[in-house]
Structure 1
Amino acid sequence: MPLVRIDLSAARPPAVRRAIADGVHRALVDAIGIPAGDRFQIVTPHGPEELVFDPDYLDVARQDVVYIQITLVAGRSRDLKLDLYRRITANLTDAGVRPEDVFVTLTENDLDNWSVGNGRAQLVEQGAVAGAQVEP
């Protein structure tokens, strides 16, 4: 179960914002097997003064960064994560985002770090999540 935060320019129209959110979710489904209905995203548009980035850090020529922060249960392999980054970038390119402007971070935690309603730890009760190799 991932929680996805997407921060981007308010200049991007709502339809493009939705296409970006859809592209990130599709990559999560395709790359690491997240169920299609397991979608929790926060999309926040920002004014130009609120998105600060180095335009050429690590020799990447950035112009209009889309920040994607994904919090998910630990247990995916490096190869799955690398495939996820590639798929997110490809999907966002289809939505009109330059590959250089796709900035992704993953934050991993354990099953007991999630409660998705009713004050219960559903992932602990379930014992596993899609694509992860974790012990309950």
Structure 2
Amino acid sequence: MPLIQVHLDRALHDRSHAEIGDAIHDAQIEALGIPADDRFQIFSPHDSGELKFDPGYNGVDRRDLLVIRVIAVHMYPVAVKQAFFRAVVDRLEPLGIRREDVLISLTENGFEDWYAGKN
């Protein structure tokens, strides 16, 4: 049950949050193998100036910033996580979101760190 948090510009949120949510969820199904009904997403739209970033950090031509935080149980090998990252940016590109403008962080913890409505 990955928990997804998305930080993005308010205008992008208003225009495309449903499609962005679908893109991320579809990437999870494909790359992480989650069930289709395992969807937990929190969108946090930000006003102009609230998302701070260096436009050239690490040699990337960054123009905007869309941050995706993923919290998941530790169970995915590195290759699977990398496939997930690629699947996300591949699905966001047709929405006009440049892969250079996406930052994804996947943090893992144990099964004992979760409660999802029942034990």
Partner of 1:22: 22
CA distance, structure 2, for counterparts of residue 14 and residue 41 of structure 1: 16
Q: CA deviation at 1:13?
A: 4.9
Misfit runs of 4+, over 3 Å: none
Residue equivalent to 2:53: 53
Residues 1:70 and 2:57 aligned together:
no
Tell me, in whole angstroms, the C-alpha distance in 1 between the residues paired with 2:15 and 2:47.
17
> Match of 1:2?
2
In structure 1, what is the Cα distance between the partners aligned to 2:7 and 2:13?
A: 13
What runs of 5+ residues in structure 2 fail to find an aligned partner?
Answer: none
* Cα offset, 1:116, TM superposition: 1.1
Matched AA of 1:59? G
Cα pair distance change 1:13/1:114, threshold 3 Å: closer
2:65 touches 2:101 (CA, 8 Å); kept in 1?
A: yes
| Number of residues of Structure 1 aligned to a counterpart in Structure 2 | 119
Cα displacement (A) at 1:33 = 0.3
Deviations 1:87-127 (A, max 9, x none): 0000111221011011100010000111112xx43xxxxxx
Q: Percent identity?
A: 39
TM-score, normalised via structure 1 length: 0.84
Distance in 1 of aligned mates of 2:114 and 2:50: 29
Q: Is the 8 A contact 2:31 2:87 kept in 1?
A: yes
Matched to 1:93, the amino acid is E
Q: TM-score, normalised by structure 2?
A: 0.95
